[in-house]
Amino acid sequence: GKEETTEEDNIITSRGMNTRTALELIPPIKSMDKEIEIIIFADSENIELKATSSNVKPAAFVKKDSQYFIRLYPIISRLISEYNLKKKQRSVKYTTVFVISIIIFVILFLIINNYILS
R_g (Cα) of the chain, nearest Å: 24
The pTM of this model reads 0.57
Phi, psi of 12 (to 5 degrees): -105, 120
Question: What pLDDT, on a 0 to 100 scale, did the predictor assign at position 43?
Answer: 74
3-class secondary-structure state, position 67: coil
b/e string for 45-71 if b means 16 or more Cβ within 10 A? eebbebbeeeeeebebbbbeeeeeeee
- Strand (E) or helix (H) holding 42: strand 39-42
Give 1's pLDDT tier (boundaries 50, 70, 90): very low
Q: Who wins on pLDDT, 41 or 46? A: 41
Q: Where are the chain's structural domains?
A: 2-65
